[in-house]
Structure 1
Amino acid sequence: MKLKREAKTLKANAIASLKRGLEAFNSHNDDGRSEAVLLMLQHASEMLVKALLVLKGQSVFDKAKGTSIGIERAVSIAQARGWIYGAQGGAIRVIDAMRDQAQHWMIVVPEDTLYINSRSLITALDEILVAHFQDTLADNLPARVLPLSTQPLPDFLMLVNREYAQIRDLLSPGRRARDEARGRITTLLAMEAHVSDEVAISKRDLDRIEEAIKAHTAVEEVFPRLTTLTTHVEGVGPTVRVRITRSVDAPAVRYVSGDDPEGAAAIREVDLQKKYHWSPSALAEKLGLTPTKVKAIRDFLRIDEDPTNVMVFEFGSQKHPRYSDNALRVLRETITPELTERAWRERPLHRRR
């Protein structure tokens, strides 16, 4: 199949990084091994998805910035166009989420977890090559260099349950293994990308989950998304194909809100940011008032005292309040010219200076 020049180059880069990643996976040297695998497999994924976009005539550059888009946006575009499907996108997102933590902070990826997710990704990349490039991984590298492991492929739910028990043990009093425990929690959070289009691992997520595990909260209450997944395995040995998808008989997942104390461990920061998405200035603009007047009204109505209305996000030393659609609805239904005037008159004195 004749490819566009850029698509051909991107595809070649993808295969090259994949080879390096597989070389690292099968290496006898464990120092930095999982990090090297994740870095190379993530790069291979990004290059191949962008090669696919270029092949289909889709721009891979941000119009406003003029820079190449990231892997998250590239995968989203490919999925929206129907060029890759859910399980393929999930496999790519999981490796990307793990790589992000490996590169920017820390992560602990157990061997069988690295194996099953690497295999899942390789299956996805091979399917993309076959479907769109009339090519296969078998045409580019021998089967003997694919990820090999002496451990059998684990059932996904068994893997999650085992990891959860291991983390709980690591967090036991006197173990002094908190860093490893949080590194393993990070891996479980990253694997939520198999069913979630957006995964961002935050310190607050880690803190909530750590406390929940210490309190002996059940795994299905802490990782409800993961307990809906199952592993589909075809073939044996080096040619095995792995797909991680939602189980057809999985129970419905109850996605909790940010103000639900019973489901605190299942809350994810990225979900909270979707719920609380109005900045003070954006909220004021939506209401057609100045930010200072809306602040006076919020104080008068005690909007900020209701956790269903506001969430304060911390980015480093900075704190940013964000408001929900519920806050916008309450303000819209309540605001009148008379109330606005009264709230303005009764605002705290120190704000009038």
Structure 2
Amino acid sequence: MKKEARTLHSKAVDSLVIAVDHFNRAWDRGRTEAVLIMLDRAFELLLKAIIVHKGGNIREKAKEGTTIGFDVCLRKCFSDAKLKCLSEEEVLALQALNTLRDAAQHHMIEVCEDLLYVHAQSAVTLFTRLVLEVLKKPLRDEIPNRILPVCAKPPSDLSVLFDVEFEDIKKMVAPGSRKRLDAKAKLRSLAILQASLDGRRSQPTEAELDKVVKRINAGDDWRVIFPGVSTLTIHEEASGPGLTIRITKNQGESVQLVQEGDPNATVVAVKKVNELDYYNLGARDMARKLKLTQHKMLWVMDRANLAADPDHHKVIKVGAMAHKRYSGPCLKKLREILEDPAVHDAYSNRNAPKVAINA
């Protein structure tokens, strides 16, 4: 492992230990904020260690001496074929954690004990997987196995957890209650999760929280107010202690990419759309629109490594059948690539040694 990657990994482990230490301590003052901030730092440093280890770049091109931020680390480790180490569900969990950290560091937030445990334990689980599978450095070699978040009664169902939390919030925002500010701090954590799942990287405004309060007093259920949050579930790992958070897809929700140009967009988001509406082209459709043979279209896709980018290609299962599907952005990218005459020359000489195409 490169020296820089080794140092970043060591600092990441330090931050994880501090986060778990704060979670387990008896003193509550500043505990939630410390846990969220240090977990977030642990993953930013770990992702940078992975990027460096895999030969990627963590320096900002436009700002000399500055390294990339959390969002860019996530994007690289999710959509860059060379660096990919995160699944869609893991990115969703990490971008939610990062947005919660923003609220904890820059404003105020109230996270119920059970939900804080879920974030802490799932973070340890994911951290353990990444250092073992990518860096080949088992976490048990760095810290004792006893360094885990401790919970007297670990939650097993997020919907039950949110039911209990929402009942408390309803009492706090009822007419005549003087706990509305505390209720908004609790609602902020749910609103942040929903925004993250919607692909928006933003903190809820006071006006937005006031609207949520009105909906609560009007009798709306939390599943109606925060539909994306209702798709989150706890999945217990088959081996070893720990939890991970994943998105259930049997409720009509599917994961779709967010374009990088949007400054308020997160890395991935859950949208109420059919995946086939996004990946709406088959290989034959692509070839026809490009006025190419299907063989040539697939040859260019392979040389440009576009199929490795989830923004361009996905294998979608319908029943027992698996279908390779392509997106509109993929079609656009291929058109740009095909403007270079050298690509056509390379195809004509395709029996020569393989040469990659710059995408």
Pick from 194, 210, 214: which aligns with 1:211?
214
Matched with 1:55 is: 53
Query: Do structure 1's residue 77 and structure 2's residue 76 form an aligned pair?
Result: yes
Alpha-carbon distance change, 7 to 192 in structure 1, aligned in 2, over 3 angstroms: farther
Matched with 2:178 is: 176
Compare the two structures and name the one with the higher helix fraction.
Answer: 1
CA distance in 2, matches of 1:154, 1:174: 34
CA distance in 1, matches of 2:168, 2:231: 20
Alpha-carbon distance change, 4 to 197 in structure 1, aligned in 2, over 3 angstroms: farther
Identity of aligned residues (%): 31
Query: Do structure 1's residue 222 and structure 2's residue 220 form an aligned pair?
Result: no
Matched with 1:332 is: none
- Alpha-carbon offset, residue 152 of structure 1: 2.1
The amino acid of 1:173's aligned partner reads P
Alpha-carbon distance change, 148 to 194 in structure 1, aligned in 2, over 3 angstroms: farther
Structure 1 unaligned segments of length 5 or more: list them: 254-268, 272-353
Q: How does 1:2-13 map to 2 (within 5 A)?
A: 3-13=1-11
SS of the residue aligned with 1:143?
coil
CA distance in 1, matches of 2:150, 2:131: 21
- Alpha-carbon offset, residue 199 of structure 1: 3.0
Matched with 1:146 is: 148
Structure 2 unaligned segments of length 5 or more: list them: 255-262, 266-359
Matched with 2:334 is: none
SS of the residue aligned with 1:141?
coil
SS of the residue aligned with 2:245?
strand
Alpha-carbon distance change, 216 to 175 in structure 1, aligned in 2, over 3 angstroms: same
SS of the residue aligned with 1:231?
strand
SS of the residue aligned with 2:208?
helix
Assess if the C-alpha contact under 8 Å between 1:220 and 1:227 holds in 2: yes
Query: Do structure 1's residue 246 and structure 2's residue 247 form an aligned pair?
Result: yes
The amino acid of 2:234's aligned partner reads T
Q: How does 1:179-194 map to 2 (within 5 A)?
A: 179-192=181-194
- Alpha-carbon offset, residue 58 of structure 1: 1.5
CA distance in 2, matches of 1:270, 1:159: 29
The amino acid of 2:244's aligned partner reads R
Moved more, 159-168 or 24-33: 159-168
CA distance in 2, matches of 1:38, 1:161: 23
The amino acid of 2:187's aligned partner reads I
- Alpha-carbon offset, residue 60 of structure 1: 1.2
Assess if the C-alpha contact under 8 Å between 1:90 and 1:197 holds in 2: no
Moved more, 192-201 or 17-26: 192-201
The amino acid of 2:75's aligned partner reads S
SS of the residue aligned with 2:63?
coil
- Alpha-carbon offset, residue 101 of structure 1: 0.6
CA distance in 1, matches of 2:7, 2:96: 25
The amino acid of 1:230's aligned partner reads T
- Alpha-carbon offset, residue 86 of structure 1: 1.7
